[in-house]
A and B are shown apart, each in its own frame.
Chain A
Amino acid sequence: MAKITVTVNGSTHTSTVEDRTLLVNFLREQLNLTGTHVGCDTSQCGACVVLVDGKSVKSCTTLAARCDGASVTTIEGLSTDGSMHPLQEGFWECHGLQCGFCTPGMIMAATDLLTQNPNPTDEEIRHGLEGNLCRCTGYHNIVRSVQYAAAKMRGEVVSSQNA
């Protein structure tokens, strides 16, 4: 067993986990943060993407024990004071989701992308979201959603029409 202390969405949790526990199972089953999804479970689909120390990782292929001392951000940690993060708002405004299963991973990967590149081209967004699969054929609107969020985060006036 491994004793780990992890800061998740700003709250510090000290837990004892089996050495083989995956980060996604720790988040979902011990912390009840079920916004992070398990999709393919083989590190290809990206439904499980979270930020560990600011970098996007696939939590189905990350050991919880490795995250001892780390800071983790999940989809539940994005909104502040009940108001949506610009990416959440973008997905809402631009119809960036249909079934919604891939959405938490898409948004967390896009968070990392916009941190590194606040003014991406559509092509750069598509490249940056290569590790996230949507099976509702929603990529076009996902790109618009990320553009909406990028513009809003740059302080520009945006609407779903011009994103």
Chain B
Amino acid sequence: MIPAAFEYVKASSVAQVIALLNQHGEDAKVIAGGHSLLPAMKLRLSQPAVLIDIAAVSELKGIKTNGGTLTIGAGETYHAIATSNTVKNACPVIAACTGQIGDIQVRNAGTIGGALAHADPAADLTAVFLALGGTVTVQNAGGTRTIAADDMFVSMLMTALDSGELITAVNVPVLSKGQGASYAKLKHPASRYAIVGVAAVVTVSNGVVSACRVAVTGAGPQAVRQPSVEKALIGTSGDAAAIKAACASAGADMEYLGDIHASEEYRRAMVKVYAARALTDAIAAARA
């Protein structure tokens, strides 16, 4: 299959990308790794007139920590992130998550900015980003702004990004002592997309869970937090009984999608299972 015809532009700067997005409006699409966009274009689900390739934009590269924040350039590939010692030390759940996306060819191509901008219902990073409470740095014609993870994922494949905007960097907290995070997923055996994926970030202070964020991907139209689980776990010891009790409400109040790979009921059941696994690992890491 071959996509419908388009004009290809290899961009060399963020300013050029913004100018092209403003010039062409809805007719333009940004391509990073392309492993979501090109298959959609082959099926004519997406038919941009202009394709702006950002893979060679050096401003979108770079991984660094600054105080309590880990900043990853939007154009960094999953493979670069998964193998980065900076990421492994600052926020190991990001390295662990990106290391299990797709396969090595997907990880050589796909980027963190692309994953969050596309917001596939079964993407892995959306849940981890949401559980970490990160932000994205966004460039538009007027300057830059940040979007908080809690505001990012609006509905299926829809984010808070406006047309004419580009994610330039992803910021997540550096995890400190007493904090632990984990991402547990039931993967599709061929594509390795999340049938259900749950990310958990937990803080344990003096033996008590003092903060907790849990987010689910794969099961519904977009990644969502699980406030009832978070609330139930905070103030407990975080032991197996507390996790089991908190996860009884996991996935209770969210929309679901069912397909040939897994029914809605199955996903509903698996959200509870994988929430418990993610929380168990995150709490163990927080105590380590």
Contact = CB atoms under 8 A, between A and B. Distances in A.
A41 interface: yes
Interface in A41-71: 41-44, 46, 49, 55-58, 61-63, 65-66, 68
B104 interface: yes
Interface of B: 1-8, 10, 31, 34-35, 38-39, 42, 51, 53, 55, 79, 102-106, 108-109, 190-192
A30 B146 CA distance: 45
Contacts of B105: 43, 46, 49, 56-58, 109, 131
Q: List the 9 shortest-distance A-B pairs measured between CB atoms, nearest first.
A: A131-B103, A19-B8, A130-B103, A55-B108, A65-B8, A58-B105, A131-B105, A20-B3, A61-B38
A20 B7 CA distance: 8
Interface string A127-163: 0101111000000000000000000000000000000
Nearest to A112: B104
A2 interface: yes
A33 interface: no
Contacts of A128: 104
Interface in A22-39: 22, 25
Given A55-B79, A130-B192, A131-B102, 14 more contacts: A19-B5, A20-B2, A22-B2, A22-B38, A43-B105, A44-B190, A56-B104, A56-B105, A57-B105, A63-B31, A63-B38, A65-B10, A112-B104, A113-B104
Contacts of A131: 102-106
Contacts, number: 78
Contacts of A18: 5
Given A131-B105, A133-B190, A63 B1 contact: no
Interface residues of A, number: 31
13 contacts: A19-B5, A19-B6, A19-B51, A44-B190, A56-B105, A58-B35, A61-B38, A61-B39, A62-B34, A109-B104, A109-B105, A130-B103, A130-B104
Interface of A: 2, 18-22, 25, 41-44, 46, 49, 55-58, 61-63, 65-66, 68, 109, 112-113, 128, 130-133
Given A20-B3, A61-B35, A61-B38, A66 B10 contact: yes
A64 to B, nearest CB: 10
A128 B102 CA distance: 11
Contacts of A66: 10, 53, 55
B164 to A, nearest CB: 22
A19 B3 CA distance: 10
Nearest to B4: A20
Nearest to B56: A66
A8 to B, nearest CB: 18
Contacts of A21: 2
Nearest to A2: B8
